[in-house]
Amino acid sequence: MTDTSLITNGQPVLAATAAAASGPEHVEVPTAYDAILLAGFGGPEGQDDVIPFLRNVTRGRGIPDERLEEVAHHYRHFGGVSPINAQNRALKAALEAELASRGIDMPVLWGNRNWEPYLEEAFTEAADKGYNKLVAIATSAYSSFSSCRQYREDYARVLTETGLIDTIQIDKIRQFFDHPGFVRPFIDGVRDGMARAIAENDGLDVATELQVLFSTHSIPSSDAARSGPDFRGFDEHGAYEAQHLAVGQVVLDQAWSELLEQPEHAHLQGTSKPAWKLVYQSRSGPPTQPWLEPDINDYMNEELKGGPTRAVLIVPLGFVSDHMEVMWDLDEEATETAGELGYWSLRTQTPGIDPAYVSGLVDLVLERVNGTPKAERPHMTDIGPWYDVCRPGCCENVRAGFKPAAAGVAP
């Protein structure tokens, strides 16, 4: 008999692992998935889309249109067009090309949480084509409500609304913050960024005058505390902050050692790496609600100002592509703050469609197809490899309350 408390989305998880009371952490049993679901955030593609898009993002929270219009100005500034849909179209094409080049016959369906093409369309297309077992790639690398659980809740909501909850099984690849495919583009960006900082700032003392700012999306502190499974013993900022700190350290260490391998930088042997700091951006919500800090601009204005800093590298560590938060909050605002302080600054690349990232995502899918044992799964921090199946209560939103989620252990 199967234990029905162990469900992905109303269906028993693989029988081989259903015996464990808390469900499987890593599904080490091959699974014949019919298709990949690329699950995106979605973004507006013109001025008329902006408010309807923001209503979707804030669905169920009853935020008045006047307040949404305040948020809309970032989008309005860029003609009402978010770059995110074009980036997901490019990622879908790149995944298809990578799969084809490896001779893997798996279709890629694309659906967004907040804009066309919606998850509804992707699930309906899957059902029409008889694809009943899907493995999801959500375009978000870390553990938190916004970057993990909210996708899973939307799979459950949409499968329920479309009446497909008992037909389609959806699983997900593990959060990939420390997978080498995701980390490699950041290492390349930081290594090359340090080289440029040295080349463009005469006599720069890297150890004291260059700062590496790893930036990620701030989230409410209550979400941070609930990010990841609580039995892992993370501190009050949860898995979200711990994952970023661990990845930032790896990126800087690896970028530094690759820089020193270059003959023109060999003279840096024996000197100290630049200082680095995890900072946050894109805070929203009422000022009374605590969110993760420090904000990247506050950090420069309050901590770096008046010190020896001459150059900053801004590394968008929390982001998979150059979407609106990167283009606005980093390339406009943080870059302006750095300029006002007289700093040279450079924003380094996101993974986008970097070949390492694309092939890493395909490797992550194949882990699930092949049931790769945990011990053989690549991971660059001690925190990973992350779970295939989210743990009970993982990444819950205490503000919004409990909602059912697919692709995890219930509840």
Binding residues for ligand HT9, rule: CB under 6 A, are: 41, 43, 54, 57-58, 71, 82-84, 140, 144, 146-147, 217, 219-220, 284-285, 318-320, 323-325
> Nearer to ligand HT9 by C-beta: 199 or 400?
400
Please identify the residue of the shown chain whose CB is closest to the bound ligand HT9. Answer: 323
Q: Which residue has the tokens 């924003």?
A: 347
Which position has the token pair 């970028």? 255
φ, ψ for residue 370, nearest 5 deg: -90, -10
Q: How far is the CB of 324 from ligand HT9 (least distance, A)?
A: 3
Name which of 220, 210, 255, 254 is nearest 240 in CA terms.
Answer: 220
Burial-class residue 46 by CB neighbours within 10 Å (0-12, 13-18, 19+).
exposed
Between residues 291 and 343, which has the closer beta carbon with respect to ligand HT9? 291
Q: Report whether 241 belongs to an annotated binding site.
A: no
CB of 385: closest distance to ligand HT9 in angstroms? 20
CB of 263 to ligand HT9, least distance (A): 37
> Which lies closer to ligand HT9 via its Cβ, residue 110 or residue 319?
319
Residue number, 23 or 43, with CB nearest to ligand HT9: 43
Structural contact between residues 156 and 9, judged by C-beta atoms closer than 8 angstroms? yes
Residue nearer to ligand HT9 on the CB measure, 28 or 153: 153
Greatest CA separation found in the chain?
71
Give the tokens for residue 18: 């259903």
Q: Tell me how far CA of residue 12 lies from CA of 25, 26, 166, 229, in angstroms.
A: 15, 15, 11, 21
325 annotated as ligand-binding? yes
CB-based burial, 280-289: b 16+ in 10 Å, e otherwise: bbbbeeeeee
Contact partners, residue 53, CB within 8 Å, separation at least 6:
42, 43, 44, 75, 82, 114, 115
CB neighbour list of residue 361: distance below 8 Å, 6 or more residues apart: 95, 137, 173, 176, 181
Question: Taking the complex as a whole, how short is the minimal distance between the CB of residue 407 and ligand HT9, in angstroms?
Answer: 16
Tell the smallest beta-carbon distance from residue 230 to ligand HT9 (Å): 19
Kindly state the tokens that stand for 100: 């084809």
HSE-CB at 406 with a 13 A cutoff on CA atoms is 27
Distance, in Å, from the CA atom of 390 to the CA atom of 322, rounded to the nearest integer, reads: 27
Nearer to ligand HT9 by Cβ, of 67 and 232: the residue is 67
Measured from the CB atom, the residue of 147 and 175 that comes closer to ligand HT9 is 147
Closest contact distance (angstroms) between CB of 188 and ligand HT9 is 19
Nearest approach in angstroms of CB 43 to ligand HT9 is 3
376 by Cβ neighbours in 10 Å (0-12 / 13-18 / 19+) ranks as exposed
**Which residue, 191 or 323, has its beta carbon nearer to ligand HT9?**
323
The least distance separating ligand HT9 from the CB of residue 309, rounded to whole angstroms, comes to 27
Binding residues for Fe-coproporphyrin III, as ranges, are: 82, 151
Binding residues for Fe(2+), as ranges, are: 217, 325
